Every structure is written in structure tokens, then in C-alpha cells.
Amino acid sequence: MALLDILEFPDPRLRTKAAPVAEVTDATRNLVDNLLETMYAAPGIGLAATQVNVHQRVLVIDVSEEHNQPLVFINPEVTVLNPELGEYDEGCLSVPGFYETVQRPQRISVTALDRNGECFSRELDGLLAICLQHEIDHLDGKLFVDYISPVKRQRIRKKLQKEQRRQD
Ligand code: QAP
Ligand code: CO
């Protein structure tokens, strides 16, 4: 297993649209394991392959309190069950230190492949539904800061770029 580097906003590679996984192989399972290790080390509750510069439709989530319920979604497809929006203060490992309120549908169903390439479907609500939508956005090149005002987004961009120059 390996810890992977996480791309940070406004890195243009975060805007890449990820391609579907044609076949779940050992290489896919290695990616999943590395995503999980990187997410737990951060620590975070969700990580998409896009964030580690791998442009395949793979993401991992663990919203459990004990950090012992890893969930894997490969080629996830969401259907909104109830268009009613809920608000949540979202953060992102690619936007470290910033949290903003985002509105998303609260009840969804997802169909995806698991780490064995088996298809499954689940109905989701609460934080898990929010987190899954946030992570699928990454696979489409989208970030939570795209939902906030341009002024706030620009302020976050400036602060992170300054931070990144310090580290280079
Ligand atoms: C996505 O985000 C998410 O700013 C997962 O300094 C978050 O794991 C979806 C993190 C909230 C819905 C609601 C963020 C860690 C972790 C930071 C994360 C930070 C350190 C974010
Ligand atoms: Co994120």
C-alpha cells in the first residue's frame, strides 16, 4: 500500500473528467487500497481517484465514527429519489482548511461496482448521500467551491496559492 499525493485547488488536473473502469482488476483493487490508506491518513471521510491524479471512476468513503466501514464505489451512477435539498458545511482534502455550506439532494440511490466487480445498488441519505455526491463531482472535474460565490471562491484560491508557493 502507498500514501498518494493529493492535488489541491486550483490545480487544473482536478478539472479532468474521469473515464469509466472497463474491468475491475488487481490494479483497480491496488488503487482502491491506496485511496483508502490515503483517506484514513489525512484523515478524511471521502476521496476520489481524481484527487490523486488518477482519472478513473473510483472513489472511497468512510463516514463511520470508528473509521472502520470503508465503502468502495466504482463507476457510480446516482438517481435522485427526492429532490428536496439539504444543507451541509462541506470540506475537501483538495481545499484544505476551508468549509462552506452547499445544498444537495438529501435522498438518492446509487448503483456501482464493488472491489470484486460486482454490481450493487443502495439507497442513501444523510452525510453518506452528501459525501457520495461530493466525490462523484470530483470524477466529473467539479469541486464544492464551484457552488459558492465567485468572491468567496477567489478568496480561497488566493490563500491556497500563497500557501502552495510557500511549500514549493
Ligand atoms: C468530502 O472531505 C466531504 O479542510 C470529504 O484541513 C466533506 O474528507 C463531503 C479535510 C464534508 C461532505 C461533507 C478537510 C481534512 C477532510 C480539510 C474530507 C482539512 C483536513 C475533508
Ligand atoms: Co473533495
Please report the beta strands in 23-147, taking only residues with DSSP state E, as ranges in sequence order. Answer: 46-48, 58-61, 71-90, 100-113, 119-124
Measuring from atom 16 of ligand 1, which residue has the nearest CA?
44
DSSP summary character for residue 56: B
The rounded distance, in Å, linking the Cα atoms of 168 and 165 is 5
Check if 117 has its Cβ closer than 6 Å to any atom of ligand 1: no
Check if 86 has its Cβ closer than 6 Å to any atom of ligand 1: no
86 alpha carbon – ligand 1 mean position (Å): 17
The pLDDT confidence band at residue 150, using thresholds 50, 70 and 90, is very high
| Cβ neighbours for 152, distance < 8 A, ≥ 6 positions apart | 100, 145
20 alpha carbon – ligand 1 mean position (Å): 24
- Residues 60-109: pLDDT tens digits? 999 999 999 999 999 999 999 999 999 999 999 999 999 999 999 999 99
